[in-house]
Structure 1
Amino acid sequence: MNNFKNFFAKANKLPLIINLIIALILAQIAPYNSNDISNFGLRFLYWASICSVSWFAWVIINSWLENKLKWPYFFVGALVTFLMTIPLTAYIIILTTFVFNHTLSPQFMTIFWVEVIATSLCIYVLIYVIVANLTKTDQTKDNTTPNPHFLKNTKGKLLYIKAEDHYLRIVTSHQNKLILYKLSDAIHQLNTSDIEGMPIHRSYWVTKFAIKNHVKDGRKNLLQLINEEQLPISTTYIKQLKSKAYI
């Protein structure tokens, strides 16, 4: 759950933007009788102050609790949100008394606190779901292995590559072409990709997908490929091919 912690830590750098957007929306729709403040600018400042207090209270409480509790972060954040409503509700009551000159009964303040808790937890769950999707997308991107650069503009599934002097022959299920490329560089890219395969000879690298079976021609070991080609296998690679269940 460190992804959620990292997200909120990064978000601390953007409280002004977040608060401005939320405050502008609340100033526009004017909930909780805030339309009694007829001046839009003052109404915006009213909501901006509430948003800022809630945010900074959340950040302070979260920084205090996140390393002390070993719970899943969803529950840590929910507890932080609940505790945040205490100073937030107190601030709203004081601000409302000052702005609207209302005297609030203890019963009303209790009911209001419950409303603040419910609203805050709903907002927290919504943000948590959004962050979960964002971090899941980021993880997917991070875990995606790069496609080998030398296979750019190559069609079909790779069968094998072969060194030919300073050139590299690329054989796929749809193509057979030569490019100016080093075999060692191509193998390095393949090793960091999700294409499964291995060298079978000092001049060949073959994908597991391409292998049909292992054949012998006298003392020669050959790989029969799905395209019916036969490639030589160096003796040094026989054990590796067998141990990895390639043959």
Structure 2
Amino acid sequence: MGGSVPQSTLRQSPASFRQWLAGAVHASRTAVTAKESLRGFAVSAAAGVFLALLGAFGTDAVPFGIRVAYWAGLCFAGAIVGTTVSHLIGGDGRADEKPWLYATLTVIGVTLPFTLVVWLVSDLTFYGQLKAGGFLGYLLPVFIVTVAMTGLNFLVQRTPPQTHAAPAGTPPPRFLDRLPPKLRGGELWAVEAEDHYLRLHTSRGQDLILMRLSDAVAELEGIEGAQTHRSWWVAKAAVDGAKRGDGRATLQLKGGVEAPVSRAYSKALREAGWY
């Protein structure tokens, strides 16, 4: 087949391994629509062709046709494993309820079967037989990269902490009792974290209180809103519009206040109709 590839080379090139496995595990995030699933497969196929052209991971000595079949097959298999595991574990929304448990199960669910795939495909392609101990040799690098990719995908795809409107007749949110006297009775538009303080944006002006944003969000239940950034919670009724620039979105609120939208929350907020 035009020269063998040393097994040590296949296993000791973390940069190349990370490249192709990144494309393969790309689909390990929750794929909630058929369109997203197809996009993941397309990215994986493109990654396979690119790595074949590159001759990555010491495969440049292998005939081009075999390289294409090898890389495209691995990337496509990774997409299938990742998408299947995501649907089985978190396809019904459970991922948002216990994200750390979901992440752990995703890593385990992707690592074990995909290490088996890498072992079978690599050893049979380059040696014509399975090498003793091959599975264990591939297990650690597959696990490390899967952890990294799963963490990255969670950061990109996570759902922002949300609060919901209270049913009629229920007491007002506890957080409103914390408003300084001059702001009480006004409409709460946003809460912005500033060091250890929170800046309150309301229809009666602004003021600071000593509190953590995470604690404030818990007490804001009863007002429909969401965290748009690690430092901002915004009431949905306060949003007048939005503007985009440099790949980022900014919500325009009543009173001329502007609240940033982080990339981690952008997709979820957009799909929820915030902008």
| TM-score normalised according to structure 1 size | 0.46
Q: Larger Cα Rg: Structure 1 or Structure 2?
A: 1
| TM-score normalised according to structure 2 size | 0.42
